[in-house]
Amino acid sequence: MTSPAPFAEVRREFVAGLGRRIETMQQALSQLESRFDAEAAQTLYRAAHSLNGTAGSFGVEDVADAAGDLEALSRGWLEHKLLAADEWRAATAALKELDGAVRSYRATAAAGSVRSSAARLAVVGELTSLISAAVDMREIFRGAIEKVQRVLDFRRASVVLVDHDGSHYYIQTLYDRARGGFVPGEASFPIGQGLTGEAIRTGRPQLVNALPGTEGILLQEGRRISAMIVPLHVSDRVIGALNFGHEAEGHYTEEDLDWAVVLGRQIETSLYYSTLLNTIAQQREALAHEHATVQGQRNQLEALIDASDAAIMLVGPDGKIAYGNAEMARLVGIPHEAVVGASVETVHRFLRGSFVDAAALAIQENVLLQDAARRDRVELTFPRRATYQRVVAPARDTSGELLGHIVLYRDVTHEVEVEKAKTELVSIVSHELRTPMTSVKASLGLLLAGAGGTLEPAAHELIEVALRNADRLIRLVNDLLDVSRLEAGRMEFRREPVWLEDTIAASLEMVAAFAKGRDVTLRAEAPREPQQVIADRDRVVQVFVNLLSNAIKFSPQGGRVDVRSWREDGFVVTEVRDRGRGIAPEQLKLVFDPFKQLDSSTTREHGGAGLGLTIAQGIARALGGELRAESEVGKGSRFFVKLPEAPRG
């Protein structure tokens, strides 16, 4: 079996002989300048014909073209045995062109071990430009191998890449000259196998000039071959390798390896940019998607806010309006487009004139500088006189970062009017009820006293029922009146120093009979020193009577109710404690709620309208104090009345 003449040697000879061929042609052409010479024409024709053929087979088109021109001219001369002067000049020009093409080719072509640095630099430069043109990996590898051919001699070149888990490498691009160029190759090898595996594992370039050839390696069974392997890195990681193989033993030099490494670096760079560009492209796509999603949500949110009948704006941390809806623009009295981006000072300047109470705007300005929310009601005169529910609250993103403040105004004029009407209705109805009830009560009382004559026992019993229930109704009406007065803030109080001990004693006296009837002991602990509060004595007694009645009602037979008081931070606290069944936590929240107890069956069992605690709390608050409760199911309840202490003089 004969192996084909190594391609590189043929090419090396070809390149080496080019100079001599040009010289031969120049001599022959100069002999033809003055007259036709058959021998010289024959020499020129043969040289041009030969060069045309070989240059063509090496793919050096411009050399082949110029040689072809010379070949055609000289053949004509041989056929006609004469030559014209202009034909000679054309031949001279063609030869000059040929000489230039040959020099150019010699400058870039590789010839044996003397590979031109200029050509290699040129290829490096071309690889650099490949980087900016190609983004696809395969395109980069193919382009690189095609260009490297010109400066490095190989039978086979390949790019292998490490797979995703790092256990194998596979052939990504394979060029085999003997098989006519790029061939499909998908073979995969364990990372521990072969020289390529070693280069990838160690990250070091490999040069071998006597590798035993196998079926798998260049199909050179039984011969020794040459190979260079350059690992390819991207971001400190070996991602694959660049392989060159040659059939001849001892073909590659250390210089060749250096060049291969330089080429490898270029490919790495382009790979790096390729991955980078891919990553950037992916990120851009992801960002665009995210942006679209966020924009969509934002649009929905803005549509929602715009559709709201409340005036809403977001004041950014920079003091500019980041968002404001049309309703807010109307409230401020500026065009909607002018709201966003306006400074909060500008908006406030426009709003200032609308406030009935100028202090309300100052509150808003203050809250915007703080981290706390505020809800209140304000009166505005523009765009119409109305009561607004105002909310100023800090807005935060999911990480807790302050985005600014939400400012919201909702017109609650109608709600306020309805509330007022309800309170007035209750007040009027209660007053109207009291008059007929008084007549009913008085008449029944007279009947029982015998004003209508002596009553049969059965009649007496029925009139007693009527009188008891008339009293119950009057108490209920009075309670309703108190609740509606407290709600409207129309309950009148005298505020004067009141001795607490005296008030407690009066209250205990009022419930003494009730307690006795239920067999409940009342015990008041005398304070260490006299305590005085600023309050309305009768109303304080009302509070205590309410609390004591409740405590007695819910005490077991033979139980005890304790009352004690103490001073605390400018207040005097009075505790009323029972040892009854207690109140469950969810019920405890409701005990001060009006009408919550009204429906409850416990009220009838214990004989009351269920408004007592609501009224007691309303009075305590109106007097600048508080009423709160603690309770434990099965152990009893404790109510604490807190009232402002009178100045001690």
Q: Which residues of this protein are in contact with other proteins, per CB under 8 A?
A: 458, 461-462, 465, 468-469, 599, 601-602, 604-605
Please choose, from the candidates 572, 580, 568, the residue with its C-alpha nearest in 3D space to the C-alpha of residue 638. Answer: 580
d(CA 114, CA 16): 11
Please choose, from the candidates 135, 247, 142, 228, the residue with its C-alpha nearest in 3D space to the C-alpha of residue 185. Answer: 142
CB of 554 to other proteins, least distance (A): 12
CB of 526 to other proteins, least distance (A): 37
CB of 612 to other proteins, least distance (A): 18
What does the block give as tokens for 281? 């492209």
d(CA 317, CA 368): 9
Identify which of residues 79 and 605 has a Cβ nearer to other proteins in the complex. Answer: 605
Contact 499, 530 (CB under 8 A): yes
CB of 385 to other proteins, least distance (A): 38
What does the block give as tokens for 352? 């200032």
Cα separation values, 444 from 428, 451, 452, 470, 588, Å: 25, 10, 10, 9, 39
What does the block give as tokens for 337? 């487009």
CB of 346 to other proteins, least distance (A): 54
- Amino acid identity, position 72: A
Within 8 A by CB and 6+ apart from 355, the residues are 361, 378, 379, 380, 381
Angle, in degrees to the nearest 10, between helices 117-133 and 137-148: 160
CB of 553 to other proteins, least distance (A): 12
Residue 551 backbone phi and psi in degrees, to 5: -60, -40
Identify which of residues 478 and 603 has a Cβ nearer to other proteins in the complex. Answer: 603
d(CA 124, CA 634): 93
What does the block give as tokens for 425? 């209705």
Question: How far, in whole angstroms, is CA 86 from its chain's centroid?
Answer: 81
Identify which of residues 133 and 633 has a Cβ nearer to other proteins in the complex. Answer: 633
* CB < 8 Å & 24+ apart, contacts of 190-199: 191/162, 191/166, 191/167, 195/227, 195/229, 196/160, 196/169, 196/229, 196/241, 196/243, 197/169, 199/229, 199/230, 199/231, 199/241
CB of 419 to other proteins, least distance (A): 23
Identify which of residues 458 and 513 has a Cβ nearer to other proteins in the complex. Answer: 458
d(CA 413, CA 84): 114
d(CA 434, CA 531): 37
Identify which of residues 454 and 601 has a Cβ nearer to other proteins in the complex. Answer: 601
Within 8 A by CB and 6+ apart from 553, the residues are 518, 606, 607, 608
Identify which of residues 307 and 462 has a Cβ nearer to other proteins in the complex. Answer: 462
Identify which of residues 177 and 604 has a Cβ nearer to other proteins in the complex. Answer: 604
**Residues making up the chain, counted from first to last:** 649
d(CA 433, CA 438): 9
Identify which of residues 435 and 601 has a Cβ nearer to other proteins in the complex. Answer: 601
CB of 467 to other proteins, least distance (A): 10
Identify which of residues 117 and 602 has a Cβ nearer to other proteins in the complex. Answer: 602
194: helix, coil or strand? helix
CB of 601 to other proteins, least distance (A): 4
Contact 47, 41 (CB under 8 A): no
User: 583: part of which helix (H) or strand (E)?
Assistant: none
Identify which of residues 466 and 488 has a Cβ nearer to other proteins in the complex. Answer: 466
Contact 263, 231 (CB under 8 A): no
CB of 606 to other proteins, least distance (A): 9
CB of 462 to other proteins, least distance (A): 7
CB of 637 to other proteins, least distance (A): 17
Identify which of residues 322 and 463 has a Cβ nearer to other proteins in the complex. Answer: 463
- Cα torsion 483, 484, 486, 487 to 10°: value is 110
CB of 605 to other proteins, least distance (A): 5
- Amino acid identity, position 48: A
Identify which of residues 298 and 604 has a Cβ nearer to other proteins in the complex. Answer: 604
Identify which of residues 44 and 470 has a Cβ nearer to other proteins in the complex. Answer: 470
